Amino acid sequence: MQLNQDSSQISQTEGTSHASESMFRSLTETTASAIFIYQEGKFRYVNKAMETLTGYTRQELLGMDFWDVVHPDDVELVRARGQTRLRGEDDLDRY
């Protein structure tokens, strides 16, 4: 009986995960806002708006580092804002 319950729970979890991913993709692929996932020094996901904003294709972006798409004049500002967010602060007006 335990094996049956485990199997049922796994199936339910997989269904929930699939539905969640489907909703995420639907939202991110239809918005005009650039959305990306950046982990371990690389883009892991970029939406169409990110391609439009940067002028790079999805495949090009997935091979790039985040800092490759930040204009050199904005690097320090972007870095400072990122550190502010990592500290849990929300005072971005001071930049």
Give tens-digit pLDDT for 22-54.
887 888 888 999 999 999 888 999 999 999 999
pLDDT the model gives residue 90: 78
The structure's pTM equals 0.65
Tell me the mean pLDDT in the region 47-63.
96
**Sign of the Cα pseudo-torsion (44, 82, 64, 27, in order):** positive
- The pLDDT of 47-67, averaged and rounded, is 95
Own/partner long-range contacts of 43-51 (Cβ < 8 Å, ≥24 apart) = none
Report in angstroms the alpha-carbon separations of 75 from 38, 42, 69, 78: 16, 16, 10, 5
Average pLDDT over residues 4-29: 73
Q: What's the pLDDT score for residue 6? A: 63
Whole-number average pLDDT of the chain: 84
